[in-house]
């Protein structure tokens, strides 16, 4: 056996850096699927930006080995399945109630409609023997910083699409789903939303899936991520392309076009008023956030501490590293010609709404 590695890792800080790199390299085992995932629109992707989805289908899905978030979700699901087993034992064996869980954990099944090329992998089903009801289960681990007043639209869509597929395949007839959110930092912090089956919503999702399949290339599909505010675009490979396309579309609009119809102007007026009101509320919330932050910092400073653990929060007051910056003026004053290195980024859409003063 070689002794090279031990010698290499003997140097200060090497062992930790090496182990971190190895953990990241072995984070997940690449999942193997019985079907070609690129050929299907699944419950978990049907609500994605259609263009991004089509683009992702052109890559080799077999290479997808997940990431840290996938591991977090898988680990939590594994734990929850053990909890389901304990619930089942308590109610079925001890209390003699007819309730059991199926297709959970490593017994999950992928349901596929070959004609429509759609699929879903439910996280399980809760079966109630006395009524014969089958409840669809969808499990999500959620970042503790997320405020969860309502279920996430993408997760609701996932439940609706999955239930629809169950009905189409005559697999079971769930009329409702339980969407289970487990706080990733505290597994006892659980929020469950009941999602009643809605065939109208399901039909619309099926239509989306068919549009995705029908498109020849991703360019034929709308850039929905940008239209929805761009949150989905931040780590998308098509970001530059979509932003440039949007800028070109805006550039081609005619500012001198004849006035719009009165009803359209009324609608725009209402939207502009609501937007201005929202901007005021946003500014007030920002001011309030800053004032509360000042008060927290003052208390910590008066108390001479940088950390506080309250019943609900951990508060830490620290100094982050300053950002590196580039002093262009100084470089040019030193005679450096930077012009060969200058690049102009894509323009980005900007909407301004100001109130008429007269």
59: left (phi over 0), alpha (psi -120 to 50) or beta: beta
Evaluated on CA atoms 214, 220, 221, 222, the torsion sign reads negative
Q: Dihedral of CA 114/117/123/124: which sign? A: negative
Least distance in angstroms from the C-beta of 346 to ligand SF4: 11
Per-residue interface string for the shown chain with ligand SF4, residues 205-224, x marking contact by CB under 6 A: ------------------xx
Which residues have CB under 8 Å from 83's CB, separation 6+?
Answer: none
CB nearer to ligand SF4: give 197 or 239. 239
Question: Is 310 in a helix, a strand, or coil?
Answer: coil
Please report how close the Cβ of residue 209 comes to ligand SF4 at its closest, in angstroms. Answer: 16
Binds ligand SF4 by CB under 6 A, chosen from 49, 163, 166, 195: 49
Give the SS3 label for residue 13: coil
Looking at the Cβ atoms of 42 and 50, the one nearer to ligand SF4 is 50
Q: How far apart are CA 66 and CA 205, in angstroms?
A: 25
Q: Of the two residues 166 and 233, which places its CB atom closer to ligand SF4 in the complex?
A: 233
Smallest gap, in angstroms, from Cβ of residue 61 to ligand SF4? 17
User: How crowded is residue 342: how many other Cβ atoms within 10 Å of its Cβ?
Assistant: 7
Cα distance between residue 233 and residue 42, in whole Å: 20
Q: Give me the least distance between CB of 217 and ligand SF4, in Å please.
A: 12
Nearer to ligand SF4, 56 or 119 (CB): 56
62 vs 32: CA distance, rounded Å = 7
Stretch 150-169 residues interacting with ligand SF4 (CB under 6 A): none
Evaluate the CA torsion angle 339, 344, 345, 350 in order and state its sign: positive
Return the number of the residue (56 or 172) whose C-beta is nearest ligand SF4: 56
Interface residues for ligand SF4 in 223-282 (CB under 6 A)? 223-226, 232-233, 236, 238-239, 242
Smallest gap from residue 72 Cβ to ligand SF4 (A): 22
Q: H or E stretch including 335?
A: none
Give me the least distance between CB of 212 and ligand SF4, in Å please: 12
- Which range touches ligand SF4 (CB under 6 A), out of 33-41, 47-55, 151-159, 295-303? 47-55
Tell me, by CB under 6 A, how many residues bind ligand SF4.
13
Can residue 51 be called a binding residue for ligand SF4 (CB under 6 A)?
A: yes
Which residue number has the CB closest to ligand SF4?
225
Question: Residue 345 Cβ, how far from ligand SF4 at the closest point, in Å?
Answer: 14
183, β-bridge pairs: 142
| Distance separating alpha carbons of residues 2 and 5, to the nearest angstrom | 7
User: What tokens were used for 254?
Assistant: 């005619």
Tokens of 268: 């725009």
Minimal distance, residue 235 CB to ligand SF4, in Å: 9
The span from the CA of 43 to the CA of 158, in Å, is 5
Kindly report the length of the chain.
358
Q: Which range, of 45-53, 137-145, 173-181, 250-258, touches ligand SF4 by CB under 6 A?
A: 45-53
84-113 positions binding ligand SF4, by CB under 6 A:
none
Q: How far is the CB of 221 from ligand SF4 (least distance, A)?
A: 8
Q: What CA–CA distance (Å, rounded) separates 251 from 96?
A: 69
Residue with smaller CB distance to ligand SF4, 52 or 165 = 52
Span interacting with ligand SF4, options 31-39, 48-56, 88-96, 188-196, rule CB under 6 A: 48-56
Residues 144, 186: contact at Cβ < 8 Å?
yes
d(CA 261, CA 77) in angstroms, rounded, equals: 54
Which residues contact ligand SF4 by CB under 6 A?
49, 51-52, 223-226, 232-233, 236, 238-239, 242
């Amino acid at each position: 056996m070689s002794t090279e590695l031990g010698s290499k890792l003997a140097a200060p800080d090497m062992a930790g850096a090496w182990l971190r790199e190895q953990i990241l390299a072995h984070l997940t085992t690449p999942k193997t699927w019985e079907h070609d995932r690129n050929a299907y629109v699944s419950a978990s992707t049907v609500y994605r930006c259609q263009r991004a989805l089509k683009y992702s289908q052109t890559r080799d899905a077999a290479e997808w080995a997940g990431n840290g978030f996938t591991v977090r979700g898988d680990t939590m699901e594994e734990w929850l399945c053990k909890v389901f087993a304990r619930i089942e034992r308590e109610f079925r064996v001890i209390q003699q109630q007819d309730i059991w869980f199926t297709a959970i954990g490593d017994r999950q099944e992928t349901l596929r409609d070959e004609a429509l090329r759609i699929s879903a992998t439910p996280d399980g089903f809760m079966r109630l023997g006395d009524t014969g009801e089958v409840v669809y289960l969808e499990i999500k681990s959620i970042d503790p910083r997320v405020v969860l007043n309502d279920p996430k639209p993408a997760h609701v869509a996932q439940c609706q699409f999955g239930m629809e597929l169950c009905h189409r395949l005559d697999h079971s007839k769930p009329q409702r789903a339980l969407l289970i959110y487990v706080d990733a930092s505290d597994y006892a912090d659980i929020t469950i939303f009941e999602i009643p089956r809605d065939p109208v919503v399901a039909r619309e999702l099926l239509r989306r899936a068919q549009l995705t399949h029908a498109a020849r290339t991703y360019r034929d599909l709308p850039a929905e991520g940008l239209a929805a505010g761009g949150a989905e675009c931040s780590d998308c490979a098509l970001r530059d392309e979509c932003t440039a396309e949007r800028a070109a579309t805006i550039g081609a609009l005619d500012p001198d076009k004849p006035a719009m119809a009165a009803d359209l102007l009324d609608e725009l007026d209402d939207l502009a008023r609501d937007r201005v009101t929202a901007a005021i509320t946003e500014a007030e919330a920002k001011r309030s956030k800053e004032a509360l932050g000042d008060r927290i910092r003052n208390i910590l400073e008066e108390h001479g501490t940088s950390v506080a653990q309250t019943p609900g929060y951990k508060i830490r007051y620290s100094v982050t590293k300053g950002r590196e910056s580039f002093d262009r003026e100084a470089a040019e004053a030193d005679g450096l010609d930077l012009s060969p290195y200058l690049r102009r980024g894509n323009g980005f859409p900007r909407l301004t709404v100001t109130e008429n003063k007269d």
